[in-house]
Amino acid sequence: MGAGGRMSVPPSPKKPEFNSLKRVPYSKPPFTLSEIKKDIPPHCFQRSVLRSFSYLLYDFILASLFYHVATNYFPNLPQPLSYVAWPLYWAMQGCILTGVWVIAHECGHHAFSDYQWLDDTVGLILHSSLLVPYFSWKYSHRRHHSNTGSLERDEVFVPKKKSGLRWWAKHFNNPPGRFLSITIQLTLGWPLYLAFNVAGRPYDRFACHYDPYGPIFSDRERLQIYISDAGVLTVAYALYRLVLAKGVGWVISVYGVPLLVVNAFLVMITYLQHTHPSLPHYDSSEWDWMRGALSTVDRDYGILNKVFHNITDTHVAHHLFSTMPHYHAMVATKAIKPILGEYYQFDGMPVYKAIWREAKECLYVEPDEGDKHKGVFWFRNKI
């Protein structure tokens, strides 16, 4: 007690702020993958068929509910209200179907169950229903995980060196050009990547996820690429029959626009996981798997973290242990933060601000001048 009976309370120390723009260390980490794994509770690596299906069932229930409300009640709404109701449906259904997309992604990583045949069956059905060639993307995505951060061998969102920029880059390096680039990326980026390998790893000939004999795939994978194509074609034919029965407007409203939302979120999530001013990229003289896997960043999408099954805020752990199911990833992320230290990167900036900043700051990569590590590349924006 002090004078007058007042207790003197020392001020609480200010919580240190995390500087998300501080560069991640590029030296070889002082820990190994096995040492990281020892810090994670063993149950995090256990896959449960029932638990995995429970998340899928939850998504299906919500998607079915939204569909029921939209198709049974929206047609009876007065005109002004329908202009509000349909965009709400598109946004909410798109978010839920993005969660379904994430579960199919887990199947491709063999993180859904202990049974490969079950994972591939569920993944093929789910991804085909969203017009994604399951096995094609599974194999190219696996190579992305094997080569993350490599300028020569990574599969997607491989940044260009300054010398590789196209002539029009400087004309888009302004707010209107940036807005146009982001819009095109979010609306057309995913189908352009699947069909024409846009923003993907350069190959010596035309690369396409629908081509069984393309350079993306090996001989032993070609049969499954045919199966992927068959799955997409089956769903495309079902949509054609729906158009004949219900009309093109109905199919676009109920399925097409939510699918565009899914594609936009998929591109944005992937782009923001691997594009950040603090993240290095490596050429073959410096790259190794561990440093590449750590060249990723966790983001905060608010309530959508849960809707997207935490693929957004546990991506670092996912790149280290891709067969870990999503429902254990939060516990694992908390466990690995102490051992990763400065090698762990999180950015809590709202994603709508983050995508604008990254589009502005991360135009190409170059090594630091005078740095002896010429194989370590950082994002730049001065053209």
pLDDT of 274-293, one tens digit each? 999 999 999 999 999 999 99
Phi first, then psi, for residue 237 (nearest 5°) are -65, -40
pLDDT in tens, 103-131: 999 999 999 999 999 999 999 999 999 99
Structure tokens at 282: 């490596």
Q: Is the pLDDT of residue 67 over 70?
A: yes
Percent of the chain at pLDDT > 90 equals 88
Sequence-distant (≥ 6) Cβ neighbours of residue 245 within 8 angstroms: none
pLDDT in tens, 323-372: 999 999 999 999 999 999 999 999 999 999 999 999 999 999 999 987 77
**Contact status, residue 336 vs residue 317, Cβ threshold 8 Å:** yes
Using a 10 angstrom Cβ sphere, with 0-12 exposed, 13-18 middle and 19 or more buried, the burial of residue 218 is exposed
Q: Confidence class of residue 136 from pLDDT cuts 50, 70 and 90?
A: very high
CA angle 46, 307, 80 (to 5 degrees): 160
Q: What is the pLDDT of residue 233?
A: 98
Q: What is the pLDDT of residue 19?
A: 60
CA distances from 6 to 1, 3, 9, 10, 11 (A): 6, 6, 9, 12, 15
Give the length of the chain. 383
Q: Is the pLDDT of residue 173 over 70?
A: yes
Separation between Cα atoms, residue 141 and residue 137, nearest integer Å: 6
CA distances from 101 to 141, 205, 288, 298, 309 (A): 14, 29, 29, 19, 10
Mean pLDDT score, 26-53: 97
Mean pLDDT score, 373-378: 91
In this structure, the dihedral spanned by the alpha carbons of residues 360, 362, 364 and 369, taken in order and rounded to 10 degrees, is: 110
Q: Which one is predicted more confidently, 51 or 3?
A: 51
Using a 10 angstrom Cβ sphere, with 0-12 exposed, 13-18 middle and 19 or more buried, the burial of residue 15 is exposed
CA angle 131, 135, 140 (to 5 degrees): 100
**Contact status, residue 193 vs residue 137, Cβ threshold 8 Å:** no
**Which of 67-76, 220-229, 243-252, 370-379 shows the lowest mean pLDDT across its residues?**
370-379
**Contact status, residue 261 vs residue 98, Cβ threshold 8 Å:** yes
Q: Is the pLDDT of residue 213 over 70?
A: yes
pLDDT in tens, 310-322: 999 999 999 999 9
Phi first, then psi, for residue 120 (nearest 5°) are -70, -35
Structure tokens at 133: 């060639």
Separation between Cα atoms, residue 89 and residue 81, nearest integer Å: 12
Using a 10 angstrom Cβ sphere, with 0-12 exposed, 13-18 middle and 19 or more buried, the burial of residue 108 is buried
Residue 46 half-sphere exposure toward CB, CA atoms < 13 A: 6
Separation between Cα atoms, residue 121 and residue 349, nearest integer Å: 37
DSSP 8-state symbol, 252: I
> How remote is the C-alpha of 176 from its chain's centroid?
25
DSSP 8-state symbol, 347: E
Q: Is the pLDDT of residue 9 over 70?
A: no
Percent of the chain at pLDDT > 70 equals 95
3-state secondary structure at position 7: coil
* pLDDT averaged over every residue in the chain: 93
pLDDT in tens, 227-268: 999 999 999 999 999 999 999 999 999 999 999 999 999 999
